[in-house]
Amino acid sequence: MASAAIFSSLRRRRSPSLEAFLVPVDLSEVALLETLISVSGDVVSCFSDNRFPFQRRNSRALVGKVEIFRSMLECLRDSADGGVLNPTAALCLKELYLLLYRSKILLDYCARSSKLWLLLQNHCVSGHFHDLSQEFSTLLDVFPVGEIGLSDDVREQAELLRRQSKRAKLFIDKKDDALRTRFYWFLDEFESGRVPDSKDLRCFFVDKLQMLDAKSCRVEVEALEEQIVNHEGDVEPTVPVLNGMVAITRYCRFLLFGFEEEFEIEIQKRARKRLITQEIAETFFTVPKDFCCPITFDLMCDPVIISTGQTYDRRSIWRWMEEGHCTCPKTGILLSHNRLVPNRALRNLIMQWCSAHGVPYDPPEGVDPSVEMFASACPSKASLVANRETAMLLIQQLADGSQVAKTVAAKEIRLLAKNGKENRAFIAQAGAIPHLRKLLSSPNAVAQENSVTALLNLSIFERNKSMIVEEGCLGSIVEVLQFGHTTEARENAAATLFSLSAVHEYKKRIADNVGAVEALAWLLQEGTQRGKKDAVTALFNLSTHTENCLRMIEAGAVKAMVLALGNEGVSEEAAGALALIVRQPVGAMAVVREEAAVGGLIGIMRCGTPRGKENAVAALLELCRSGGAAATERVVRAPALAGLLQTLLFTGTKRARRKAASLARVFQRCENASLHYGGLGVGYAFASDSASTRNTTNFVSDVSLPMSISVPVL
């Protein structure tokens, strides 16, 4: 018999349907016949009338074999001896169960997989059908047909099936193989920098593959992207070929079917999303606990498994990792890697639960970050050329299309700019930025959100930052931050400012833009957790420019960051920004005026992250140095600071220990410090022996912030 690994690999490329996890597996003799009849009946009923896109002849032949086995099993059940089996027959029937079940998986795979994937796997999948045929023949060779109560006609059918299966040869459909060759020709054309004629593409995709609308192309793209996620390095086709397939199919989607239909799909998605929020709010307490993300406690749309075996919603756990955490939120165990594995079994169960309870289910959109990393690491000339042609179509619609077409084009540019610096480079060079800037002021919420997110994704490529700023986008981005139609639009505007502020000369320009700092401060106080994160990282970048200090004080950013010290998700960055601001006397005085400032920094020293503790002790040290006697007195009299500093001196990071030692020396120079802290000076002196002196060479060198955090592509 063939190895079970054959179909385990199929399952990795395309998850079987939910029945694969729920099918009865009781193979006791009492239930054996009924189980086999049930499985064979499912195969016949599900696939006898199914029109397979490819492997039609092999699929029909396999369904015919299963139908003969079902007749044989029913006859055996209804025989005079009541289906009592001898040991050989029972053993054969148990093996038959495995073959029937593998047949079901293979047929389901052919019915549901990407058409292009099946086409390129034509020889391999044909081999699976041939292997099954041979194994049915081997089973019938040893099956005691004459010793069980079968009628003459059923026995003749079984014998005929045995002989036919034994003589069967590997069948590869020549028409399917010709289509496979044709697609490789398209791939070679794009690889050579030539774009095939639109008539040839229409003939192939519409007439041959029966992709009759934009929706079918989109489904095909999503299925191919799933293959990229589950791809194994030693399996054909290679990742560059898969990337080329995705890019060519996406190009044909817009070349052949335009943009209008996609807008209707987008509107329907957003309507479903609003319904989901309302329905979940009404039925939250009835949602099974295992269906809710342990981080947000919301129903999971895209459950994934991390290295510790725990399941989270993809967006929630990705944000958690993006924030610099390297442990499992639920167990606290250190993550061995950042790979997110889709939990498709749970996702299918959630979908069934939603269907049963009338709750709309919002499936995950687009590609997950692991796809982005994998795809961008394996670019091919064909995918680059196809993506460039797609970008040209999209930009043409941004310039001359209807409002609907512009909205769809902005979304697709946003998605195209997710993957790879090459895509971001040629989208900007082709002139997309001025058109996206115009859409920022659109009254259409969908258009505005997609355009600002597209600019965010484009800004990740360093050369595009100057193009975005020089095109005059800053003012429009700030307006979206202030008055955006949706929460996501405002959050993504803040993230765009953070990305642009990575260039030092733009920090002052952003801060001088009327309303920019005020809007960031408001978002830090009133936004969602993600919005607060985007706002505080942007404010941190702005605070590294010395000339922005007074502007940030006037705009209320200092007060917002002091309040943010109590928010675990953003306290680390808020403390880092304050440590920079208090280096200037005017900044120190502004922080001293905030009653909660010192207490908030002390709180981070008590239970913050290692980086947060570094930033907090640095802020207190700089406050003493720049704020004068009043600021020093307030820090000195802070309750519990002595014990926290003592702990930090021995358990903190190298930078934190250095800062703590410096702060101890400041206290020792104060007349009342020795009375307030008693014998603590010995510990400080011991730690300061190995501490370096104050580093004043770089304005931000002593503030720790996880600046390796990349701007998320959305």
Contacts of 45 (CB under 8 A, 6+ apart): none
Q: What is the pLDDT of residue 197?
A: 92
pLDDT above 90: percentage of residues in the chain: 18
Report the alpha-carbon distance of residue 466 to residue 472 in Å, rounded: 10
Q: What is the pLDDT of residue 261?
A: 56
Average of pLDDT values for 596-623? 87
Q: In what order do the strands lie in the sheet with 311-313?
A: 311-313, 303-305, 341-342
pLDDT at 504 over 50: yes
Indicate the DSSP class of residue 327.
B
Tell me the two tokens of residue 611.
Answer: 């980086």
Contacts of 388 (CB under 8 A, 6+ apart): 426, 430
Q: CB–CB of 116/180 below 8 Å? A: no
Identity of the highest mean pLDDT range in 68-82, 246-260, 377-391, 516-530: 516-530
When computed from its CA atoms, the radius of gyration of the chain, rounded to whole angstroms, is 32
* pLDDT band at residue 479 under the 50/70/90 scheme: very high
Q: What is the pLDDT of residue 570?
A: 86
CA atoms within 13 A on the CB side of 676: 19
Q: Which CATH code of 3.30.40.10, 3.40.50.1370, 3.40.1160.10, 2.170.190.11 fits the domain covering 284-357?
A: 3.30.40.10
The total number of residues written for the chain in this structure: 714
13 phi and psi, to 5 degrees?
A: -85, -30
Report the alpha-carbon distance of residue 600 to residue 594 in Å, rounded: 10
Segment among 248-257, 582-591, 657-666 with least mean pLDDT = 657-666
pLDDT at 257 over 50: yes
Between the alpha carbon of residue 36 and those of residues 103, 286, 420, 535, 625, the distances in Å are 13, 37, 50, 60, 81
Digit-coded pLDDT (tens) for 681-703:
434 433 333 333 333 334 444 55
Average of pLDDT values for 121-136? 89
Q: How many CB atoms lie within 10 A of CB 700?
A: 16
Digit-coded pLDDT (tens) for 553-575:
999 999 999 998 888 888 888 99
219 phi and psi, to 5 degrees?
A: -60, -40
CA atoms within 13 A on the CB side of 201: 21
Q: What is the pLDDT of residue 315?
A: 79
CA 482, 485, 491, 493 torsion-angle sign: negative
* pLDDT band at residue 464 under the 50/70/90 scheme: very high
Q: What is the pLDDT of residue 367?
A: 41
Query: Given 3-state DSSP classes, what are the helix, strand and coil percentages for the chain, each rounded to the nearest 5?
Result: 70, 0, 30
Q: CB–CB of 63/48 below 8 Å? A: yes
CA-nearest of 30, 34, 29, 10 to 20 is 10
Q: What is the pLDDT of residue 24?
A: 43
pLDDT at 140 over 50: yes
pLDDT at 675 over 50: no
From first CA to last CA, the distance across the chain in angstroms is 48
CA-nearest of 502, 461, 452, 457 to 480 is 452
Indicate the DSSP class of residue 145.
G
In one-letter notation, the amino acid at residue 494 is A
Q: CB–CB of 449/407 below 8 Å? A: no
pLDDT at 233 over 70: no
Q: Categorise residue 545: left if φ over 0, alpha if ψ from -120 to 50, beta otherwise.
A: beta
In one-letter notation, the amino acid at residue 383 is S
Q: What is the pLDDT of residue 523?
A: 92
* pLDDT band at residue 40 under the 50/70/90 scheme: confident
CA atoms within 13 A on the CB side of 153: 2
Q: Greater confidence, 358 or 585? A: 585
Q: b/e string for 523-543 if b means 16 or more Cβ within 10 A?
A: bbbebeebbbbbbbbbbbbbb
Digit-coded pLDDT (tens) for 159-198:
888 888 888 888 888 999 899 999 999 999 998 889 999 9
Digit-coded pLDDT (tens) for 82-103:
556 677 877 888 888 888 888 9
pLDDT at 145 over 70: yes
Q: Greater confidence, 168 or 373? A: 168
Average of pLDDT values for 406-419? 88
The mean pLDDT of the chain is 78
Please check whether the two domains, 284-357 and 556-671, share a CATH topology: no
Residue 636: alpha-carbon gap to chain centroid: 47
Tell me the two tokens of residue 565.
Answer: 């010290």
pLDDT at 673 over 50: no
pLDDT at 593 over 70: yes
Contacts of 48 (CB under 8 A, 6+ apart): 63, 67
Q: CB–CB of 74/14 below 8 Å? A: no
Q: Greater confidence, 12 or 680? A: 680
Average of pLDDT values for 526-549? 88
Q: Categorise residue 534: left if φ over 0, alpha if ψ from -120 to 50, beta otherwise.
A: alpha
Q: What is the DSSP string of 26-87?
A: --SHHHHHHHHHHHHHHHHHHHSS---SS-HHHHHHHHHHHHHHHHHHHHHHTSTTTT---H
Contacts of 368 (CB under 8 A, 6+ apart): 229, 302, 304, 314, 318, 340, 342
Tell me the two tokens of residue 585.
Answer: 């006397």
Average of pLDDT values for 218-245? 75
Digit-coded pLDDT (tens) for 262-313:
555 555 555 444 433 444 334 344 567 778 888 777 788 888 888 888 899 8
Segment among 351-360, 486-495, 681-690 with least mean pLDDT = 681-690
Residue 495: alpha-carbon gap to chain centroid: 18
Q: CB–CB of 433/474 below 8 Å? A: no
Segment among 139-143, 261-265, 374-378, 579-583 with least mean pLDDT = 374-378
Identity of the highest mean pLDDT range in 17-31, 288-302, 667-681: 288-302
CATH of domain 556-671: 1.25.10.10
* pLDDT band at residue 242 under the 50/70/90 scheme: confident
Digit-coded pLDDT (tens) for 443-456:
999 899 999 999 99
Segment among 45-49, 409-413, 615-619 with least mean pLDDT = 45-49
Q: How many CB atoms lie within 10 A of CB 44?
A: 16
Tell me the two tokens of residue 575.
Answer: 């403390």
Q: What is the DSSP string of 106-131?
A: HHHHHHHS-HHHHHHTHHHHHHHHHH
pLDDT at 358 over 70: no
Average of pLDDT values for 489-501? 91
Report the alpha-carbon distance of residue 140 to residue 158 in Å, rounded: 8
pLDDT at 520 over 90: yes
Average of pLDDT values for 426-438? 93
Q: CB–CB of 586/592 below 8 Å? A: no
Q: What is the pLDDT of residue 427?
A: 93
Report the alpha-carbon distance of residue 375 to residue 383 in Å, rounded: 10
Q: What is the pLDDT of residue 617?
A: 87
Q: Greater confidence, 710 or 590? A: 590
CA dihedral 154, 157, 158, 159 (to 10 degrees): 120
Q: Greater confidence, 677 or 576? A: 576
In one-letter notation, the amino acid at residue 277 is T
Domain ranges of the chain: 1-172, 175-257, 284-357, 472-555, 556-671
Q: What is the pLDDT of residue 275?
A: 39
CA-nearest of 341, 48, 386 to 241 is 386
Average of pLDDT values for 389-399? 91
Between the alpha carbon of residue 482 and those of residues 252, 435, 489, 520, 644, the distances in Å are 38, 21, 10, 9, 40
pLDDT at 372 over 50: no
Contacts of 595 (CB under 8 A, 6+ apart): none
Digit-coded pLDDT (tens) for 330-343:
777 888 877 788 88
CA atoms within 13 A on the CB side of 275: 12
Q: CB–CB of 193/244 below 8 Å? A: no
Q: What is the pLDDT of residue 286?
A: 56
Q: What is the pLDDT of residue 652?
A: 81
* pLDDT band at residue 322 under the 50/70/90 scheme: low
Q: What is the pLDDT of residue 421?
A: 83
Report the alpha-carbon distance of residue 224 to residue 246 in Å, rounded: 6
Q: At what angle do helices 445-459 and 260-283 cross, to 10 degrees?
A: 100
Q: How many CB atoms lie within 10 A of CB 581?
A: 29
Segment among 298-302, 366-370, 505-509, 653-657 with least mean pLDDT = 366-370
* pLDDT band at residue 15 under the 50/70/90 scheme: very low
pLDDT above 70: percentage of residues in the chain: 78
Q: How many CB atoms lie within 10 A of CB 231?
A: 17
